[in-house]
């Protein structure tokens, strides 16, 4: 028996929260190469971590990107 039971709404909420944290950790560690920084000072480590978290935050906004080529085509049409 699991607490809460797997077919309950509580389980779905807990599972979704856990998987979102795992996605966030994957994004920091593998996509932004968090552990590849070889800094001697903790100050540089925290600067790197802060920048990675800012990039992750900007990705979460999911702003639409319009390429320069598309703008040019629409302008000439």
Q: Based on the structure, what is the number of domains in the chain?
A: 1
pTM over 0.75: no
- What pLDDT sits at residue 12? 85
Residue 2 belongs to a domain: no
User: Does a structural domain hold residue 42?
Assistant: yes
Contacts of 27 (CB under 8 A, 6+ apart): 56, 59
In a domain, 38, yes or no: yes
Q: Domain for residue 45, yes or no?
A: yes
Residue 37, domain extent: 9-76
Closest by Cα among 20, 21, 25 to 35: 25
pLDDT score for 1: 62
In a domain, 40, yes or no: yes
- Burial code (b: 16+ CB inside 10 Å, e: under 16) for 2-35 equals eeeeeeeeeeeeeeeeeeeeeeeeebbeeebebe
Assigned domain for 53 exists: yes
Question: 20-26: which pairs have CB atoms within 8 A and are 24 or more residues apart?
Answer: 24/56
| Sequential pLDDT tens for the chain (77 residues) | 677 788 889 888 888 888 777 888 888 888 878 778 787 888 988 888 898 888 888 887 776 667 777 788 888 86
**pLDDT for 77:** 66
Confirm whether 3 is domain-assigned.
Answer: no
């Amino acid at each position: 028996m699991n607490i809460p039971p797997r077919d309950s709404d509580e389980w779905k909420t807990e599972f979704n929260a856990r998987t979102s944290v795992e996605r966030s950790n994957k994004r920091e560690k593998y996509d932004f190469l968090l552990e590849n920084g070889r800094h001697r000072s903790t100050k540089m480590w925290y600067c790197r971590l802060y920048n990675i978290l800012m990039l992750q935050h900007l990705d979460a906004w999911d702003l639409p990107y319009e390429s320069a080529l598309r703008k040019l085509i629409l302008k000439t049409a």
